[in-house]
Amino acid sequence: MNNTIKGVLFALLATLLWSGNMVIASGIKGHIPPVGLAFWRWAVACIVLAPFALKTTIDTISTVKKHIKYLALTALLGITIFNTLIYFAGKTTSAVNLSLIAISIPLFIVLLSRIVFKEKVSTKQNIGIAIIITGVLVLISKGSFQALLHIQFAIGDVLMLFACFFFACYTILVRQKPDELTPKVFLFSVFVIGTIFLLPIYVVEHIYFKKVTLDSKTILITGYVAVCASLISFYVWNEAIRLIGTSKTALIYYLIPVFSGLLAYLFLNQEISLSQMISMGIIISGLLITNKK
Does 270 have pLDDT greater than 80? no
57/65 Cα distance (integer angstroms): 11
Query: Within a domain: residue 255?
Result: no
Which whole number is the average pLDDT over 200-215?
A: 86
Which structural domain, as residue segments, surrounds residue 160?
3-113+152-245
Query: Within a domain: residue 142?
Result: no
Specify the pLDDT at position 24.
Answer: 72
Specify the pLDDT at position 100.
Answer: 63
pTM: 0.77
Under a CB-based contact definition with an 8 Å cutoff, are residues 156 and 102 in contact?
no
Does 293 have pLDDT greater than 60? no
Query: Within a domain: residue 146?
Result: no
Q: How far is CA 219 from the centre of its chain?
A: 21
Which whole number is the average pLDDT over 213-233?
A: 85
Q: Would you say the C-alpha torsion 100, 130, 292, 163 has a positive or negative sign? A: negative
Highest mean pLDDT among 114-123, 154-163, 185-194, 229-238: 185-194
Query: Within a domain: residue 281?
Result: no
Specify the pLDDT at position 190.
Answer: 94
Q: How many domains does the chain have?
A: 1
Residue 117 has what DSSP assignment? S
Does 84 have pLDDT greater than 90? no
Query: Within a domain: residue 129?
Result: no
Query: Within a domain: residue 258?
Result: no
185/168 Cα distance (integer angstroms): 22
Does 8 have pLDDT greater than 80? yes
More confident residue, 175 or 260: 175
Which whole number is the average pLDDT over 30-46?
A: 86
Specify the pLDDT at position 60.
Answer: 92
Angle value at C-alpha 76, between 8 and 209, nearest 5 degrees:
115
Cβ-based burial of 51 (10 A; exposed 0-12, middle 13-18, buried ≥19): exposed
pLDDT tens-digit series, residues 148-202:
666 666 687 788 888 888 988 998 888 888 889 988 899 899 999 999 999 999 9
Query: Within a domain: residue 288?
Result: no
| Residue 5, number of CB atoms within 10 A of its CB | 11
Query: Within a domain: residue 273?
Result: no
Specify the pLDDT at position 94.
Answer: 61
SS3 for 30?
A: coil
